[in-house]
Amino acid sequence: MSQTDIYELIECMTALIRSEERKKCTELGLQPVHFQVLNYLSRCNKYSNTPAAVANYLGMTRGTVSQSLIILEKKGFIEKTPDPRDKRVIHLRLLPEGISILKQARPSGLFNSATDILKGGGPVLSDANVFEQALTALQKANQSQSFGVCKTCRNFSEKDGEFFCQLTQEKLTDGDSEQICQEHKPV
C-alpha cells in the first residue's frame, strides 16, 4: 500500500469519526472542541490535567482552550482546582455531569457497528497494533509529544506491585498508570 493510500485511509476514517462526533455534539448542545476537551480529560493523568496540557494535546491555542474551559465549567462539566504545591498551576477534573455528557457524545454506535462488521467473517488482521503503530509513527514524523499511556513510558517502573514515575519521583495509582501523560517518553 502506498503512502498516499495510507493517508487517504486515515483521512477517511478521521472524517467519519469527526462527522459522527459533530452530529452527537449538535444534538447535545456542545461544540466539537468541548467534546475533545472532555474526552482528553477523561483519559489524562494528574500530570496532564492542566489547561496547557489540553492545549498541547489538541494542538490549539491556550486562548481557545481557556474559553472552552470557561464554558465547560459554567455548564458544570468540569472543575478547576489549584495545585496544592504550586498555586500557579490549575488542575482540571471531570465532574459526574461531564462524564455523563461525554458518554452520550461519543460516537459509540459507529464503532459498535464497525466492530460487528469486522467480526462478521472477514479476514483476521495479523497485527492488532497497526493503528497504534501508525499513530506513533505519525507523532514521531511530526516531532510531537507522544501523550502516551503512562505504563508504556520509559519513566514508568513497577516494584513490589507498586507503580512509580522515575521522572517525577512519585508513586502512581493503578488508574494513573492507565491514563495519558504529557511527559510520556516511548520505550
How far is C-alpha 77 from the chain's CA centre? 17
Higher pLDDT, 186 or 4: 186
Task: Identify the pLDDT of residue 187.
Answer: 76
Residue with cell 500557579: 88
Task: Identify the pLDDT of residue 137.
Answer: 59
Task: Identify the pLDDT of residue 159.
Answer: 86
Task: Identify the pLDDT of residue 133.
Answer: 58
As a whole-number percent, the residues of the chain with pLDDT over 90 amount to 49
Encode pLDDT of 51-61 as tens digits.
999 999 999 99
Higher pLDDT, 142 or 46: 46
Task: Identify the pLDDT of residue 140.
Answer: 61
User: How large is the average pLDDT for residues 6-27?
Assistant: 82
Task: Identify the pLDDT of residue 128.
Answer: 47
Among 8-22, 89-103, 136-150, which stretch is predicted with the lowest mean pLDDT? 136-150
Task: Identify the pLDDT of residue 180.
Answer: 85
Taking the CB of residue 57, how many other CB atoms lie within 10 A of it? 22
SS3 of residue 3 by DSSP: helix
Residue ranges and CATH numbers for the domains of the chain are 3-124 (1.10.10.10), 133-187 (no CATH)
What does the DSSP 8-state code read for residue 179? S
- The overall pTM is greater than 0.85: no
Encode pLDDT of 70-128 as tens digits.
999 999 999 999 999 998 999 999 999 999 999 999 877 777 776 676 566 555 555 54
DSSP string for 63-127: HHHHHHHHHHHHTTSEEEEE-SS-TT-EEEEE-HHHHHHHHHHS-HHHHHHHHHHHHTT-PPPS-
Rounded to whole angstroms, the Cα distance separating 81 from 147 reads 22
Among 16-25, 35-44, 124-133, which stretch is predicted with the lowest mean pLDDT? 124-133
Task: Identify the pLDDT of residue 110.
Answer: 72
